[in-house]
Amino acid sequence: MRRASVPTALAWLIAPVLAALASLAPARGDDLPKAEAVLEDFVKATGGKAAYEKLRNRTVTASIELAGANVKGTIKFTQAAPNSMVVATEIGQLQITQGTDGKTVWAVSTILGDRLLEGAEKDQFLDEALFNDEIRWKERFTRVECAGVEDVKGKPAYRLVLTPRAGKPITKYYDKESHLIVKEVETTAGPMGEMTAETYPSDYRKVDGILIPFKLAQSQGGQAFEIKLTEVKHNVELPADTFKVPAALEKK
C-alpha cells in the first residue's frame, strides 16, 4: 500500500482500478492560488512544519473490507526517514508484502511469488516511500499546478496536478475551507500493467501533533473498498531488520 503521505501509500498498495473524473468546473486562472500556497495551507492545517519535523518513523495498522462481498483483511504499514517502507496486506488467502530499504525494492506474494522490483515499479515505490513528503514535496515533485476548482461531495476543492519524478501526474483535491485532502487520483505501474486508484480520505484525527485520515474510501472496477486505520504510532523503536530484503531475494 502506497504513503509518502499515509492516504496515498495505502491507496496505491490496494491499487483500485477506477479513474472516473467528473466534469471540472474550474475557476478563472486569475482567481486560483499558487499550488505552492495550497500545499503550505495543507501543512499548516494538519499540524505545521515543526510537528512533521519531529517525526522520524510511522507504523499503521488498518482493516480493509470489500463492500457487499463479506471479504475482510488487515494492513500493516511501516515507514521511516528518509525513504524506507514496508506494507503487508492480508485479504482472505491473498498475502502481499512489499518493501524497500531505500535502495532495493522487493515483493513477496502468494500470487506472484517473491521478486525484486525493477523499472517503473521500483521507481514509483521509492517515490511513494519518501517519508514526510507533505513537507518534502519539492524532493518528490518536479512540477505542481493548481488546475481549477471542483466540487467534491458538494464542497469546493482546489484541484492540484502534481508531477512526480517517477510515474504519471497525481491529482489531489484540497478542500477550500479546511485545506485538507478530500480526494486523490493516481495511476501507477504494476505487474499487471497500469492501475488507477481513486481515494476519498476522511475522518481526520490528530496523532502526535498532525492530522491523519483514519478512513479511506476506494473503488476498483465498480467494487468498493473501505480502509479504516485502527492504530497509528510515531517514533517507535523498530527492529534492525524491519526493511531488510528477504534472504531468499538477496541471492537473486
Q: Please, what sign has the CA dihedral across residues 114, 116, 243, 214?
A: negative
Distance CA 93, CA 244 (A): 24
Distance CA 126, CA 15 (A): 16
How many other C-beta atoms are found inside a 10 Å radius of the C-beta of residue 146? 21
Distance CA 202, CA 182 (A): 7
Predicted pLDDT of residue 9: 53
Helix, coil or strand: residue 9: helix
Helix, coil or strand: residue 145: strand
For the stretch 89-98, pLDDT in tens is: 998 888 999 9
Predicted pLDDT of residue 166: 85
Split at pLDDT 50, 70, 90, the class of 219 is confident
Name the DSSP letter for residue 16.
Answer: -
Predicted pLDDT of residue 74: 96
Pairing of strands 170-175, 155-164: antiparallel
Surface-to-core class of residue 50, CB atoms within 10 Å of its CB (0-12 exposed, 13-18 middle, 19+ buried): exposed
Q: Which residue has the higher pLDDT, 6 or 98?
A: 98
Domains recognised in the chain with CATH numbers: 6-245 (2.50.20.10)
For the stretch 117-149, pLDDT in tens is: 999 899 999 999 999 999 999 999 999 999 999
